[in-house]
């Protein structure tokens, strides 16, 4: 009788905890950055795939599709034009690096700029993936609170001054200024300019994450911080995950060449997925401008279903601001609710939520908050899921509609 080989003795120290086997999505899933399935432009993507593979399929025989290590040239050219028109960014195709989603962009920027013991300034409530990556690198994130206009500049100034007095300098200021995750705030131009002024005065770079910027309800957005900078001290990342489909895994970095050259040396994956880049370039050239408004309308309708369901089932027991776009709602429950505990009870009832402490540097302050992704569930699933969540809150925490 043979026995199974024991790999555990070979594992190096410092590995993350073992992953659990995936058992499928729960009935009411309000987690992750998933998008509206009915808004995926399937027929147009099929047409784009057919056309570009017939025309350029033979270039799949080479790494880089004859476009070099920064990614498919036609996609980078589309992005340069789009970023100029929508975000005011003057960048060329050669200033852009295509990545395997924005997460690879985060990793490349962090590996280029950070080492253990460094300090980074970050929005207090922020993207979980960014917070976790800093922690794993041994980097100290200093959280700056947000208000309805994003990161507060008065507190940012105090943090920078305090670091200077201690003889320290933050490596960068990380911000999601346009449809922030999880609060969905949009930072006004004046505040962006003040961030640039403060960063310049203290010799600090800015890391601008613009992954949700296509999803403002109005269809308009302020100029990117990158566009407003005259010091070339901003690195900008974005993604097609929220505007087209998350599973495509196509993101991008816009950066000065001295930083880009180092990122290219670290990007050792042989290039991001070629088919995805080719199909996106073909699709976007004729379809992006008309697709995104349709997606926005679908998302806005789902948000309305979510907010009405919350009011109906929780009444005044929950608080939330009206998002300016995106796919998330940042919800505050009564102070006695611990959303880390609520997460477990809700999951047992078939409802998946993102507990607030996982999306905040200030975990105590976010104890009674949760992030709900409204893009993926159907309208019926949103209504039923919120009703089920309210039942769990009443049973476990005594939360009643007021």
pLDDT value at 231 more than 90: no
Percent above pLDDT 90 for the chain: 91
By C-alpha distance, which of 254, 226, 216, 185 is closest to 88? 226
pLDDT of residue 321: 95
pLDDT of residue 1: 58
Write down all domains in the chain, each with its CATH number in brackets.
25-40+290-397 (3.90.1150.10), 42-287 (3.40.640.10)
The pLDDT of residue 380: 98
Residues near 320 by beta carbon (within 8 Å), at least 6 away in sequence: 307, 310, 329, 330, 331, 332
pTM here is: 0.95
**Which helix (H) or strand (E) covers residue 293, if one does?**
helix 274-314
For 110, the enclosing helix (H) or strand (E) is: helix 101-113
**Cα radius of gyration (the chain):** 22
- pLDDT one-digit tens code per residue, 279-331: 999 999 999 999 999 999 999 999 999 999 999 999 999 999 999 999 999 99
pLDDT at residue 4 above 70?
yes
Tokens of 395: 């049973």
pLDDT of residue 245: 93
Angle formed by the axes of helices 257-266 and 101-113, nearest 10°:
110
Query: What confidence tier does 264 reach under pLDDT thresholds 50, 70, 90?
Result: very high
Single out the residue of 353, 337, 356 nearest to residue 396, CA to CA.
337
């Amino acid at each position: 009788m043979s026995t199974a080989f024991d790999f555990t003795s070979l594992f190096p120290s410092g590995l993350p905890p073992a992953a659990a086997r995936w058992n499928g999505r729960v009935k009411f899933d309000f987690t992750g950055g998933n998008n509206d399935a009915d808004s995926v432009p399937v027929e147009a993507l099929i047409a784009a795939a057919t056309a570009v593979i017939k025309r350029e399929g033979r270039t799949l025989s080479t790494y880089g599709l004859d476009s070099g290590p920064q990614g498919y040239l036609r996609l980078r050219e589309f992005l340069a034009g789009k970023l100029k028109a929508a975000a005011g960014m003057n960048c060329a195709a050669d200033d852009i690096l295509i990545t395997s989603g924005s997460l690879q962009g985060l990793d490349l920027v962090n590996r280029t700029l950070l080492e253990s013991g460094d300090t980074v300034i970050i929005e207090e409530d922020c993207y979980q993936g960014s917070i976790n990556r800093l922690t794993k690198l041994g980097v100290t994130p200093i959280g700056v609170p947000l208000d309805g206009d994003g990161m507060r500049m008065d507190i940012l100034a105090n943090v920078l001054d305090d670091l200077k007095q201690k003889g320290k300098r933050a490596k960068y200021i990380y911000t999601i200024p346009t449809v922030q995750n999880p609060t969905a705030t949009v930072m006004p131009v004046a505040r962006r300019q003040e961030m640039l002024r403060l960063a310049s005065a203290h010799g600090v770079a800015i890391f601008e994450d613009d992954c949700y910027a296509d999803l403002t309800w109005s269809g308009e957005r302020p100029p990117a911080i990158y566009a407003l900078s005259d010091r070339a001290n901003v690195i900008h990342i974005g993604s097609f995950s929220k505007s087209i489909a998350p599973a495509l895994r196509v993101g991008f970095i816009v950066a000065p060449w001295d930083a880009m050259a180092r990122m290219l040396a670290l990007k050792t994956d042989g290039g991001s997925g070629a088919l995805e880049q080719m199909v996106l370039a073909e699709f976007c050239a004729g379809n992006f401008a008309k697709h995104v408004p349709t997606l926005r309308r679908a998302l806005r309708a789902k948000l309305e279903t979510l907010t009405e369901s919350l009011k109906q089932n929780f009444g005044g027991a929950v608080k939330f601001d009206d998002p300016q776009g995106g796919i998330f709602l940042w919800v505050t429950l009564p102070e006695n609710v611990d959303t880390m505990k609520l997460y477990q009870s809700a999951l047992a009832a078939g409802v998946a939520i993102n507990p607030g402490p996982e999306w905040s540097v200030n975990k105590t302050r976010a104890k009674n908050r949760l992030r709900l992704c409204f893009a993926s569930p159907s309208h019926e699933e949103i209504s039923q899921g919120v009703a089920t969540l309210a039942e769990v809150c009443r049973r476990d925490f005594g939360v009643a509609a007021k």
